[in-house]
Amino acid sequence: MAEVKIFSGTTSKYLASRVADYYGKDLGGVSINHFADSEISVSFDESVRGCDVFLVQSTFPPSDNIMELLMMIDAARRASAHYVCAVIPYFGYARQDRKDKPRVGITAKLIANMLTAAGADRVMTMDLHAGQIQGFFDIPVDHLEGTSVFVPYLKTQKLENLKFASPDVGGVSRCRKFASYFDADIVICDKHRKKANEIASMQLIGEVEGADVILVDDLIDTGGTICKAAELILSKGAKSVRAFCTHGVLSGKAHENISNSVLEELIVTDTIPLKYDNPKIKVLSVAELFGKAIGRIRDNGSISTLFINYQQNLGF
């Protein structure tokens, strides 16, 4: 069988090194340099000929992260790697997944095309903004779920009268997965936007009186939606409000918004590194989950056994 080698781009080494540890390998050496004009140059420091290569890189801003990943894929392919898998814990540009107004691009599809054109054989990611983005690829996509790390943590909190809340109508399916595991009800925050990152109005659909409410979303950007939803839920009689968001983008005044919010805590994963410490934010690592997934791919095993809902259905 081909040897497995795991490499990382510049900004994901903090996570990639832990993924490699959980898999049982040292992180491979790759040199990523810049010319005077900021042009990127990528070269592997060791042979990848005939190897199964896993390249770990989240594609959050700046766009250099995407270029690094594309160039690593290309370099691995040209160095005669047997197999190249792009491991993208946070898949950036996923919010631009459709034409919601005239004369705009579908950037999620563009990124999918670029990864395929660069030579990736497979993509592994977590909690895409919309699950149907998997259909933008003509190569296999392993779509891991944040429930695998969030549910075990939530069980340790021993909260009573749990209810789960979706901050918008589009997130109901994700919210229902959490609720089904705990046999709990869901509520929905129906919001109307004037423009991106600006909410005009929000209403709550459902009852939360006396409940410990968990808001569930795939990412948190400025924090405006989550904080406003938490305030609305608490005003309707909830006992407490927490939020689970897989990807902590946390741009602009996000940290200030969260610190001043009524949230008990915000739980995110380490798909994106936090820029600042915040006592209200707890980070759960997905390194072990990705390490296990790489092992499943290597051994032609089942990825679905890593999903909480799959394990629940089997009575685990």
**Residue 251 labelled as part of a binding site:** no
Beta pairing, strands 162-166 & 141-144: unpaired
CA distance 315 to 299: 24
**Residue 143 labelled as part of a binding site:** no
pLDDT-derived band at 316 (thresholds 50, 70, 90) equals very low
User: Given this model, what pLDDT does residue 19 score?
Assistant: 98
pLDDT-derived band at 309 (thresholds 50, 70, 90) equals low
Whether 191 shows a pLDDT value over 80: the answer reads no
User: Given this model, what pLDDT does residue 215 score?
Assistant: 97
User: Given this model, what pLDDT does residue 7 score?
Assistant: 98
Structural domains of the chain, with CATH: 4-145+287-311 (3.40.50.2020), 147-284 (3.40.50.2020)
Whether 311 shows a pLDDT value over 70: the answer reads no
User: Given this model, what pLDDT does residue 314 score?
Assistant: 44
CA distance 61 to 25: 28
Q: Is 191 a catalytic residue?
A: yes
User: Given this model, what pLDDT does residue 62 score?
Assistant: 87
29 phi and psi, to 5 degrees? -90, 130
Whether 164 shows a pLDDT value over 70: the answer reads yes
User: Given this model, what pLDDT does residue 170 score?
Assistant: 83
**Residue 39 labelled as part of a binding site:** yes
pLDDT-derived band at 94 (thresholds 50, 70, 90) equals very high
Nearest to 143 by CA among 284, 309, 315, 312: 309
User: Given this model, what pLDDT does residue 220 score?
Assistant: 97
pLDDT-derived band at 188 (thresholds 50, 70, 90) equals very high
Percent of the chain past pLDDT 90, that is, above it, reads: 85
User: Given this model, what pLDDT does residue 201 score?
Assistant: 75
Whether 197 shows a pLDDT value over 90: the answer reads no
Per-residue pLDDT averaged across 81-108, rounded? 95
Higher pLDDT, 239 or 62: 239
5, 177, 191, 292: which is the annotated catalytic residue?
Answer: 191
In the block, tokens 């309707």 appear at 236
**Residue 96 labelled as part of a binding site:** yes
**Residue 299 labelled as part of a binding site:** no
**Residue 37 labelled as part of a binding site:** yes
Task: Give residue-wise pLDDT tens across range 247-267.
Answer: 999 999 999 999 999 999 999
In the block, tokens 């998997």 appear at 134
pTM, full prediction: 0.93
**Residue 277 labelled as part of a binding site:** no
User: Given this model, what pLDDT does residue 160 score?
Assistant: 87
**Burial per residue of 187-215, b for 16 or more beta-carbon CB atoms within 10 angstroms, e otherwise:** bbbebeeeeeeebeebebebebeebbbbb
Whether 17 shows a pLDDT value over 90: the answer reads yes
Per-residue pLDDT averaged across 25-39, rounded? 96
Whether 64 shows a pLDDT value over 60: the answer reads yes
Per-residue pLDDT averaged across 72-91, rounded? 98
Percent of the chain past pLDDT 70, that is, above it, reads: 95
**Residue 129 labelled as part of a binding site:** yes
Average pLDDT for the chain? 93
Compute, in degrees rounded to 10, the torsion defined by CA atoms 155, 161, 167, 173: 70
- Residue 85 CA, chain-centre distance (Å), reads 17
User: Given this model, what pLDDT does residue 168 score?
Assistant: 87
